[in-house]
């Protein structure tokens, strides 16, 4: 059925960054058919959604996420990256079965949709990644994801896999899911990070990704100790090492990049690799503050992501946008990271992280109708300057302001109510499975 959003304030994020007042969006076959003032249409099959006074913007896109970890929210405080992984996250992940992973994914997509996100680049745990795709398939979320690849000899038993098994399972998932559901579900190879992968695996992933035309999603230079250990193990810096192995390029998304060297900044720019800034996670794990304004100034593509619930502890683009806008200002000045730059990271940047910049990330005719409708009239955003909708969106809005969300033109949140997931049963199932895994791992 066609859908017409009427009389909204449309933040297009098109090339001219137009903001259209009192404008309509006509959605046909999951795409934006027309966009502008006074769109008149005929036909019996038209549904109208009045969005008078509300802000209509491209759905947020998280460029780095771990849906499998959402069950471990609020259970992994006070640790730096490597301890956090070894003491909590890996044992928890090893405790997942298909059912618990499904519960974790359902909770993830429910929270993401409620906070205005329509797409994400996700890294799974080693096993059961089908269930994450199944969850996204069923709730209508736009997912690019892949199982974590962990074949290094010191990966703990519960997660360790052979190089061959890791590649075979990744390829099988790719075959089953990549490009399905109208292209809404896509595969991305996810070698976890240098320290969990053999060089053989990384090289083979680099080759296969090019051959199959899919993305690579991994972590780089998140934590200083990690950077030291990487340097010790492979004899060079993390991003430089990836570059040498073929793990850079516009089809690669590197999460974090908190500690890139001067040379690596150039590599990121020249190779057009996408960097995902995760400010909340980088603070919580005491990793540091990524030089994001500097990377952007150098011409690097940067997007935003919440990372995992246990290192955040929200999965909320409003929280990350606000933090990204504020965090760098003491270093680069009050005009550093203005709202327009931050919103670009959360929309167009995310689209690039998923390799979907031709399809989503802005509201333009022909693009897929991934749309978030926000009400900026609540007390905490009042008043605002009617000439500037971006400032309240980034500095004062909260996820509670998200009213409607559409993905592929389908309403998945309407009047703040999830339509494709039942919030109460999602929460209850998440609690049960989390409790079970925690008691199994004695946490």
Q: Which stretch binds a second copy (CB under 8 A): 21-29, 35-43, 283-291, 356-364?
A: 283-291
* Cross-strand bridge partners of residue 120: 62, 143
| Tokens, residue 83 | 């301890």
Its sign, for the CA torsion 219, 395, 387, 375, is positive
Q: How far apart are CA 123 and CA 215, in angstroms?
A: 12
- Which of 6, 41, 261, 396 contacts a second copy by CB under 8 A? 396
Point out which span in 57-65, 129-137, 267-275, 389-397 binds a second copy (CB under 8 A).
389-397
Q: How would you class 330 by CB atoms within 10 Å of its CB: exposed for 0-12, middle for 13-18, buried for 19 or more?
A: exposed
Among 117, 201, 245, 430, binds a second copy (CB under 8 A): 430
Please state, in angstroms and rounded to a whole number, the distance separating the CA atoms of residues 378 and 339. 19
Judged by CB under 8 A, does residue 107 bind a second copy? yes
256 lies in the site for a second copy, by CB under 8 A: no
Name which of 250, 257, 245, 290 is nearest 273 in CA terms: 250
Judged by CB under 8 A, does residue 117 bind a second copy?
A: no
Cβ-proximal residues to 302 (8 Å cutoff; 6+ apart), any chain: 274, 275, 276, 277, 292, 295, 296, 345, 349
Is 312 among the residues that bind a second copy (CB under 8 A)? Answer: yes
Question: Considering beta carbons, is residue 166 or 312 the nearer one to a second copy?
Answer: 312
Q: Which stretch binds a second copy (CB under 8 A): 14-22, 55-63, 117-125, 330-338?
A: 330-338
- Of the pair 62, 217, the CB lying nearest a second copy is at 62
285/343 with CB nearer a second copy: 285
Q: Is 86 in the site for a second copy (CB under 8 A)?
A: no
In the complex, minimum distance from the CB of residue 298 to a second copy, in angstroms, rounded to a whole number:
21
How far, in Å, CA of 373 to CA of 51, rounded?
Answer: 8
Asked if 382 interacts with a second copy (CB under 8 A), we say yes
Q: Are 163 and 204 in contact (CB under 8 A)?
A: yes
Closest distance between a second copy and the C-beta of residue 338, in Å?
A: 6
Residue 200: C-alpha distances to residues 152, 163, 191, 253, 344 (Å): 10, 8, 11, 20, 36
First to last CA, the chain: 49
| Whole-angstrom distance, CA of residue 200 vs CA of residue 213 | 20
Q: How far apart are CB 17 and a second copy at their closest, in Å? A: 17
Q: Is 408 exposed, middle or buried (0-12, 13-18, 19+ CB in 10 A)?
A: buried
The yes or no reply on residue 82 touching a second copy (CB under 8 A) is no
Nearest distance, CB of residue 2 and a second copy, angstroms: 31
Does 342 participate in binding a second copy (rule CB under 8 A)?
no
419 forms part of the interface with a second copy (CB under 8 A):
no
Contacts with a second copy by CB under 8 A lie at 71, 73-75, 77-80, 84, 107, 110-111, 114-115, 280, 282-289, 309, 312-316, 319, 322-323, 326-327, 329-330, 332-336, 338-339, 377-386, 388, 391-392, 395-396, 398-400, 423, 426-427, 430-431, 434-435, 438, 443
């Amino acid at each position: 059925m066609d859908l017409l959003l009427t009389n909204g304030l449309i933040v297009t994020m098109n090339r001219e960054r137009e903001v259209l007042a009192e404008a309509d969006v006509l959605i046909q076959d999951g795409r934006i058919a027309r966009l502008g003032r006074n769109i008149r249409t005929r036909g019996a099959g038209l549904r109208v959604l009045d969005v008078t006074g509300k802000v209509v913007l491209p759905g947020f896109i998280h460029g780095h996420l771990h849906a499998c970890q959402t069950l471990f929210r609020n259970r992994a405080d006070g640790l730096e990256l490597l301890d956090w992984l070894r003491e909590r996250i890996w044992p928890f992940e090893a405790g997942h079965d298909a059912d618990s992973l499904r519960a974790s994914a359902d909770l993830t997509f429910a929270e993401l949709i409620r906070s205005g996100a329509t797409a994400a680049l996700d890294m799974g745990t080693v096993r059961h990644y089908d269930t994450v795709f199944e969850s996204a398939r069923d709730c209508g979320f736009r997912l690019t994801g892949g199982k974590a690849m962990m074949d290094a000899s010191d990966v703990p038993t519960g997660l360790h896999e052979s190089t061959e098994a890791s590649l075979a399972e990744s390829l099988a998932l790719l075959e089953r899911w990549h490009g399905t559901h109208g292209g809404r579900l896509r595969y991305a190879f996810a070698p976890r990070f240098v320290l969990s992968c053999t060089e053989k695996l990384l090289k083979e992933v680099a080759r296969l990704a090019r051959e199959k035309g899919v993305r690579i999603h991994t972590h780089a230079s998140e934590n200083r100790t990690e950077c030291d250990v990487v340097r010790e193990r492979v004899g060079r810096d993390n991003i430089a090492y990836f570059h040498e192995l073929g793990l850079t390029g516009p089809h690669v998304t590197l999460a974090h990049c908190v500690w890139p060297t001067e040379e690596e900044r150039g590599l990121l720019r020249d190779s057009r690799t996408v960097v995902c800034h995760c400010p909340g996670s980088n603070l919580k794990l005491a990793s540091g503050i990524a030089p994001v304004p500097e990377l952007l100034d150098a011409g690097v593509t940067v997007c935003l992501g919440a990372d995992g619930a246990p290192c955040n502890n929200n999965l909320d683009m409003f929280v990350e946008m606000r933090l990204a806008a504020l965090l760098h200002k003491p270093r680069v000045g009050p005009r550093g990271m203005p709202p327009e730059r931050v919103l670009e990271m959360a929309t167009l940047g995310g689209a690039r992280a998923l390799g979907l910049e031709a399809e989503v990330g802005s509201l333009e005719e022909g693009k897929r109708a991934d749309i978030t409708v926000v009400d900026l009239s609540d007390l905490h955003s009042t008043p605002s300057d009617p000439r500037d909708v971006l400032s309240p969106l980034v500095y004062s809005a909260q996820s509670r302001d998200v009213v409607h969300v559409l993905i592929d033109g389908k309403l998945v949140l309407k009047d703040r109510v999830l339509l494709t997931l039942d919030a109460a049963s999602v929460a209850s199932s998440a609690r049960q499975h989390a409790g079970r895994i925690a008691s199994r791992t004695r946490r």
